[in-house]
Structure 1
């Protein structure tokens, strides 16, 4: 087993050499990863089947294609994203250059998750690489086949001095977290997220925590129940519910609950046939420990639909629970499986009260054709994301950030937001050493007379953006000489008091 301290030291030396900074180097590495997903597609599909029995279509669309599309988007836009961002200035700095320059943090640790073991491990790796960091990847040991595959194929396609993979369980991860990183990105549950955050605090290391929590789904009587039920069941049964943004529980009236149960029976048969266990489109629970945990959650309410389980095969059909006790474990912890409890509320205001009393969710789903009620939910609840009249699909929009808030995480990524996450935004002011620049700023030097103070206040006062653009345009048209004359006039006007 590699020594974590030695791996980090090697990566730090590589980063200090400046190897990862040129945009051309990063683009080459990203293109190599794009080629990897094409050439290793079959191996990836097999590993995902071994770990979670994912069907090929789900493995390709939700893991491989997701990564491929992210890479293409990054490659097409990285040159533009990485450019300096010039900012507005006040009069005192109008002739100077002020901009934000992204720079890599240094050595980044990416800790992946087991439920989408390829996508959730390598997607943040894309962003860290694109930003110019050196990266140590730690796949989840729970999805052992995928972790082993990542360890085998990553060194075949990217620079081994700058990007490394370390496998192992809890002891190895604990040793890793003792090392000093410049950034840590963790995807997983809230309990471990707190451990990662505490470890990062020892070195004041910034972190992104992509956690889980509850993702409630509100449905009212105005929604098209058939469409809503289809979308909810699809989202709940994708990866057998082992998705951080899967709908976790339903909030609805008793009337809507009855319609949902009636419709769900028909939709399940339409999607998966008369025997869910035989469906080629359904995977399995990742291991025995998680299966036993899910079976324990079934005790929290009345099984109104489903309830089929097979411990030997780690299979569990969609199970809807009604009359759930408020203190039941199924309502307290993230479910991460095909169990869907129903919480009855009288109306949207009661639903808002219920949500406000609990931890902030990773995602909130709203099925309603009442725009006023949707706006009430949007304005009076807090969550990592919201999707109205569908589930999970907000992840597909890579111009939206993906991440949690509060108990469901901190920070976000996807698309340009990934580059932002793994980049320090350095503020740069480039001042002129010439006469004009010196005249404009000379009032800051002692002795500070009343005239100098008046001049400084005038030059530093905030003005409407349109006015500053007008002044900048006028000065630009006047040229340096006349600009200098204007500066001298202002100096004399305000300092001769």
Structure 2
């Protein structure tokens, strides 16, 4: 097994030198990532084609340009994100300076995933760099072509003293997890997520775990089924269903099943024609996953669309299952493939009960013309993200945090949320060197009078609305500032000789 102790020691030395904490270093590295993406678009697209048969448009939109846009958002705002964040103060600290200083953790381990091997690897990489960390990047070995490209390209564009790439499989990952990191960011499945968390516990290392789960879809009876079918089948079949926030299964009334299936058939035909021959339809990552998906199809519900599997081509046809039961194999695990089970329910309440019996999903999708239906799911369930009348689109909005809850993940990222993930929010309070008499009331010996004054200063009351909220702060602040100034003048009153401080009489 490889020993990465020397590499980690080198990264820690580089971090301790302070080089990564400067705005100039961070900006230069981000520019390097941008140049890498721009100068190697064709090679990256070909790698994605080799690994997953990704069509060029999906490679561009969901991988290269998605990463690029998030990167440019980071570059444009980095200087502001690095500034101290002022916080509200109470009467007790009215004369103090209080703020949050975001500082890097140190040496971060970023472990990518194979399903979106550029986006899921590069976005946390440049987020960690933007926050001022040194980084060990571990691409997924399952997307071998993309991992090899990253291993070759990153050293050409980024600071080799502060950013390292480790390629390999389970032995290399196991060896890395024995080292002490200051932050670990992992994207993958829940089972491995638990392994990561156990390893992190050895050194109490904070983690972000971007996992998955069974993201449900509820279709209300008043929905436009043509719209539902187009949006659900798109979300399900992008990347051949190998997307952590893909719609995992549909719940609707039994009488809607047949109509919804017919609309889904139309959408699949419109998108792909014959998917087996389509250049726009991806393939399953490897034989093991293909066999797993086939087993789920064979043991669950009724196959009404698709069901075809070609092991040699790593092809699974877009497949729809109806009359699926809770106990079917396809309902026991995240599908992560182009299979859409439809499970009949009597109403929204039954769907909510089913969702709440399982683990909290990474995403949830509700279709209805009635906003109250969406509110019912929002108020009575929990999920990493929630989308009303569409699928997956929340992940493209950088102002929204992307992440799970419970077994679907810990922490979030995208946009400034990535910067915050890799930053420790350090609480800073600055107090003037002087004015000791103003705080002497906190010192022993205690008295009833002191206690009354302290309680009055610290007392909080329920907040009032509008300008009423500001008036007490304004009055107390003004009075306190005036009294403090007078007190300072009294304490320093005396005859001042030229070139000497005031002397107290």
Q: TM-score band (shorter)?
A: over 0.9
1:50-82 Cα distance to aligned partner (Å, 9 max, x none) = 100101110011000011101110111111112
State the match for 1:459 in structure 2.
457
**Aligned twin of 1:492:** none
Structure 2 residue matching 1:426: 3-state secondary structure: strand
What displacement does 1:322 show?
1.4
Q: Deviation of residue 265 (structure 1)? A: 1.4
User: Where in structure 1 do 4 or more consecutive aligned residues deviate above 6 Å?
Assistant: none
Q: 2:478 aligns with which of 474, 477, 483?
A: 474
Is residue 289 of structure 2 the alignment partner of residue 290 of structure 1? yes
Greater CA deviation, 367-376 or 464-473? 464-473
Structure 1 residue 35 displacement after superposition:
1.1
Corresponding residue number in structure 1 for 2:448: 450
1:415-448 per-residue CA deviation (whole Å, 9 max, x = no partner) reads 111111111111111111223xx22211112211
SS at match of 1:31: helix
Q: Name 2:83's counterpart in structure 1.
A: 83
CA distance in 1, matches of 2:278, 2:476: 67
Mind listing any 5+ residue stretches in structure 1 that lack a counterpart? 488-497
Aligned to 2:427: 427
Kept in 1, the 8 Å contact 2:253–2:345? The answer is yes
Q: Which residue of 2 aligns with 1:164?
A: 164
Offset at 1:309? 1.8
* Structure 2: distance between partners of 1:56 and 1:399: 27
Matches for 1:14-413 after TM superposition, within 5 Å: 14-273=14-273, 275-298=274-297, 299-413=299-413
- Taking the aligned partners of 1:5 and 1:460, their CA distance within structure 2 comes to 50
Contact 2:117 2:139 survives alignment (8 Å): yes
The CA distance in 2 between the partners of 1:439 and 1:332, in whole Å, is: 67
Q: Distance in 2 between matches of 1:440 and 1:467?
A: 23
> CA offset at residue 92 of structure 1?
1.8
Of 10-19 and 452-461, more deviation after overlay is shown by 452-461
TM-score, scaled relative to structure 2: 0.93
- How far the C-alpha of 1:300 sits from its partner, in A, is 1.5
CA deviation after TM superposition for structure 1 residue 479, in Å: 8.9
Give 1:459 shift: 2.0
Q: CA, structure 1 residues 40+123, in 2 after alignment: closer, same or farther (shift >3 Å)?
A: same
> Separation in 1 of the partners of 2:487 and 2:249?
65
User: Could you tell me whether the CA contact under 8 Å between 1:141 and 1:168 is conserved in 2?
Assistant: yes
User: Matches of 1:249 and 1:263 in 2, distance apart?
Assistant: 16
Give distance in 2, aligned partners of 1:349 and 1:306.
31
Answer whether contact 1:90 1:462 (CA < 8 A) is retained. Answer: no
User: 2:466 matched to which residue of 1?
Assistant: none
Counterpart contact for 1:277–1:317, Cα < 8 Å: yes
Q: Distance in 2 between matches of 1:168 and 1:21?
A: 30
Q: Which residues of structure 2 form unaligned runs of 5+?
A: 464-468, 492-505
Write the distance in 2 (CA, Å) between the matches of 1:20 and 1:367.
46
Cα contact 1:92–1:440 (8 A) shared by 2: no
Q: Which digits, 9 at most, give the CA deviation of each residue in 1:335-379, with x for residues without a partner?
A: 000011111101111111111111100000001111221111110
Counterpart residue number, 1:494: none
The match for 2:495 is: none
Instruction: Flag the 1:317–1:439 CA change in 2: closer, same or farther, 3 A.
Output: same
- CA change 1:479–1:51 in 2 (3 A) is farther
Whether the aligned pair in 2 keeps the contact of 1:92 and 1:441 (CA below 8 Å) is no
Cα contact 1:90–1:468 (8 A) shared by 2: no
User: What's the CA shift string for 1:279-311, capped at 9, x where partnerless?
Assistant: 111110011111111110112121011112211
Task: Flag the 1:162–1:475 CA change in 2: closer, same or farther, 3 A.
Answer: farther
What do residues 430-478 of structure 1 show as CA deviations (whole Å, max 9, x unaligned)?
111223xx22211112211222222222222235562464147625984
Q: What is the aligned residue count?
A: 485
Instruction: Determine the C-alpha separation between the residues in 2 that align with 1:195 and 1:101.
Output: 32
Distance in 2 between the 1:409 and 1:14 partners? 31
Deviates more, 1:48-57 or 1:368-377: 368-377
CA distance in 1, matches of 2:434, 2:424: 31
Q: Give me the whole-angstrom Cα distance separating, in 1, the residues matched to 2:471 and 2:19.
A: 44
Q: Would the aligned equivalents of 1:284 and 1:315 in 2 still touch at CA under 8 Å? A: yes
Does structure 2 conserve the Cα–Cα contact (< 8 Å) formed by 1:304 and 1:321? yes
Look up the SS of the partner of 1:325 in the other structure: coil
Taking a change above 3 Å as real, the CA distance of residues 484 and 251 of structure 1, as seen in their structure-2 partners, is: farther
Distance 1:472 1:4, change over 3 A: farther
Once the two structures are superposed, residues 251-300 of structure 1 have per-residue CA deviations (whole angstroms, 9 ceiling, x without a partner) of 10112211111111111111112x11111111100111111111101121
Please give the TM-score of this superposition, normalised by the length of structure 1: 0.94
Q: How far apart are the structure 1 equivalents of 2:488 and 2:252?
A: 69
Closer/same/farther in 2, CA of residues 42 and 468 from structure 1, 3 Å limit: farther
- Give deviations 1:215-237, integer Å, cap 9, x for gaps: 00110111111111001111111
Contact (CA 8 Å) 1:110, 1:136: kept in 2 or not? yes
Shift of the alpha carbon at 1:2? 6.3
Structure 1: distance between partners of 2:326 and 2:52 = 31
Is this contact kept in 1: 2:101–2:428, CA < 8 A? Answer: yes
Tell me if structure 1 keeps the 8 A contact 2:2–2:172. no
